[in-house]
Amino acid sequence: MTTNLESKVVLITGGAKRVGAAICRELHTHGANLMIHYNTSKQAAKALQAELNLQRPDSVSIIQGDLLNPAIATSLVKETIVRFGKLDVLINNASTYKPTEIGNINEENWHDLVGSNLKAPMFIAQAAAKELKKSHGCIVNITDMHIESPKKGYIVYSVAKAGLVTLTKSLAQELSPEVRVNAVAPGPVLWPENNPQFDEVYRQRVMSQTLLKRIGDPTDIAKAVKFLAADAPFITGHILAVDGGRSINL
């Protein structure tokens, strides 16, 4: 298959599981070579690496790192260049998601949620900027449909993801004209793991709020990322909602 991702090098954070893994599979199918970052999901990362390298040998590497470590941004980019010789696409996908209610918010909450959802994407983008300018590459950030209507009880997460939207638009300005920067804002595509709040009643209510009356699939997000990375040469500074119309129906 010859596509505009063939032989492109993609660095993706949090790519071992769930939506991240779907993005990896989609981009790999269209010819990309991948550096997949993970933190604690070592087994999942190794399994995905083996799966994709079986399809195309030596096309996928994995790298471990805690995104709250200030040194990790430079390390991720450096190791990608060492392994593949260049960097064409950065996908800031990794995210921490948990509730924080007024009265119980502490510094650890702020450090964790802002660190993973906003600080890390900023510093990784900064570390990658020089290489992305060389390749006339792009950045795709993964934000959230709740940037417009913050979810009650998730104030720090919402602030961080809203900041990621502003970061996306700021980077689009700062890195132009060589580098395009966009974001995907997912709606309901996967339910959070091991969280009793998201019971069947909650899920049915969310589905009823989408205009399409269903939840999406991780591949819907993956295809949107692929579009912005490979098929949108005149789009930058844009936030693409992939939420079944829920964000305009709340």
The two tokens of residue 73 are: 């941004």
* Euclidean distance between CA atoms 157 and 153, whole angstroms: 9
Neighbour-count burial for 26-58, b at 16+ CB within 10 Å, e otherwise: bbbbbbbbbbbbbbebeebbeebbeebeeeeee
Q: Are 224 and 184 in contact (CB under 8 A)?
A: yes
Q: CA 69 → CA 39, 64, 120, 123, 135, distances in Å?
A: 11, 12, 9, 11, 27
Amino acid at 120: A
* Euclidean distance between CA atoms 75 and 216, whole angstroms: 34
The residues assigned a catalytic role are 18, 144, 157
